Amino acid sequence: MKGRVLVVDDDTALAEMLGIVLRGEGFEPSFVADGDKALAAFRDAKPDLVLLDLMLPGRDGIEVCRQIRAESGVPIVMLTAKSDTVDVVVGLESGADDYIVKPFKPKELVARIRARLRRSEEPAPEQLTIGDLVIDVAGHSVKRDGQSIALTPLEFDLLVALARKPWQVFTREVLLEQVWGYRHAADTRLVNVHVQRLRSKVEKDPERPEIVVTVRGVGYKAGPS
């Protein structure tokens, strides 16, 4: 059972409360309160998911997020008190997979965490092609001309979702539901930011995308293979 969660939060009361809730749901939480120590704690704990507060003493959450993302694709969920577009987008661009705005309900948080963890539990032997990319779904790898491209699990899911139905145009709401596991349309900024990040990794020219194509006014679809 995978359920190690690293909580990076300086507010001890909140961290403790998060621990109570997470333990109650069967996760194994570990804690770190300082941004400078977050990376070391991450390496020690090897968590399956990171809950990261954006405002931290020492190194701030954005920086910590970048560092973790630099060496791992582990899902990162940001805890933010600011719902302003700029804050959210900056957080997502630094590598977070999802965000949750304070104050949140415990159930909501658990649902998000489960949605991020669920993905790795369903391996299906499947080979997909999108553009000139070859995706091995079970092996969790993307290759172009034999060269493998490193993607985070979320980016991989996004690419797979598009590649499975190359004839379909996905609205942002549908992608939110399929990839992030949201029931209700929440925030399409998530999709926009992650599509940009996916493009920066898989496209030859991110300015002229060929793999993930924008359909104006509707959403995104897989490029012709």
Partner 1 sequence: MTGGTTAPKAGRPGRGRRFQGGRLLQDAPAGGPVLRLVIRLLRRPLLPVMRLWRRNIQLRVVAATLVMSLGVVLLLGFVVIGQVRNGLVEAKEKAAQSQAEGGFSVAQEKADASSSTGGRGGDGTDSTTAGTNSWRTDLVEQLASGGPGAFNVVALSADPLPKRAPRTSGGVDLSSIPPDLRRSVVGGTGEFKTYAQVKYTDASDDRKPEPALIIGKRLNDVDRHPYELYYLFPLTQEEQSLNLVKRTLATAGLFVVVLLGAIAWLVVRQVVTPVRMAAGIAERLSTGLLHERMKVTGEDDIARLGEAFNKMAQNLQLKIQQLEELSRMQRRFVSDVSHELRTPLTTVRMAADVIHESREDFDPATSRSAELLVGQIDRFESLLADLLEISRFDAGAAALEAEPIDLREVVRRVIDAAAPLAERKGSTVRVAGDEQPVVAEADARRVERMLRNLVVNAVEHGEGRDVVVRLGAAGGAVAVAVRDYGVGLKPGEATRVFNRFWRADPARARTTGGTGLGLSIAVEDARLHGGWLQAWGEPGGGSQFRLTLPRTADEPLRGSPIPLEPEDSRGNRARAAAAVADKSARQVPNTAFPVRGATGTLPVPPGQAPRATAVVDPTALPGSGSRVVARKPDESHGAAPAPREGRGTGPGDGSAAGSAEPGGRRVDVDGEGPGRTSASETSEREGSTRGR
Amino acid 87 reads: D
The only residue of 44, 85, 126, 165 in contact with partner 1, by rule CB under 8 A: 85
Least gap, CB of 81 to partner 1 (angstroms): 4
Q: Residue from 3, 73, 106, 181 that binds partner 1 (CB under 8 A)?
A: 106
Q: Applying CB under 8 A, which of residues 11, 34, 93, 136 lies at the interface with partner 1?
A: 11
Question: According to the binding rule CB under 8 A, does residue 17 interact with partner 1?
Answer: yes
79 touches 100 (CB < 8 A): yes
* Least Cβ distance, residue 104 to partner 1 (angstroms): 6
Q: Please, which residue, 83 or 200, has the CB nearer to partner 1?
A: 83
Q: Which of 1, 13, 70, 124 binds partner 1 (CB under 8 A)?
A: 13
- Phi-psi map region of 145: left, alpha, beta (phi>0 left; psi -120 to 50 alpha): left
Distance from C-alpha of 84 to C-alpha of 125, rounded to nearest angstrom? 41
Q: What is the rounded CA–CA span in Å between residue 176 and residue 221?
A: 14
SS3 of residue 115 by DSSP: helix
How many CA atoms lie within 13 Å of 141's alpha carbon, on the beta-carbon side?
7
Residue 13 burial (10 A CB sphere; 0-12, 13-18, 19+): exposed
**Which one among 7, 18, 193, 212 touches partner 1, defined by CB under 8 A?**
18
> Considering only CA atoms, which of 108, 105, 76, 106 is closest in space to residue 92?
76
**Tokens for 137?**
């779904």
Tokens 């939480």: give the residue: 29
From the list 8-16, 91-99, 149-157, 192-200, the region that binds partner 1 by CB under 8 A is: 8-16
- Scanning 101-109, 129-137, 146-154, 175-183 for contacts with partner 1 by CB under 8 A, the matching segment is 101-109
Give the pairing type, strands 98-101 and 76-80. Answer: parallel
Q: Which of 3, 14, 28, 143 binds partner 1 (CB under 8 A)?
A: 14
Q: Which stretch binds partner 1 (CB under 8 A): 26-34, 81-89, 134-142, 202-210?
A: 81-89
Shortest reach from residue 159's CB to partner 1, in Å: 25
Residues binding partner 1 (CB under 8 A): 11, 13-14, 17-18, 20-21, 24, 55, 79, 81-82, 84-85, 102-107, 217
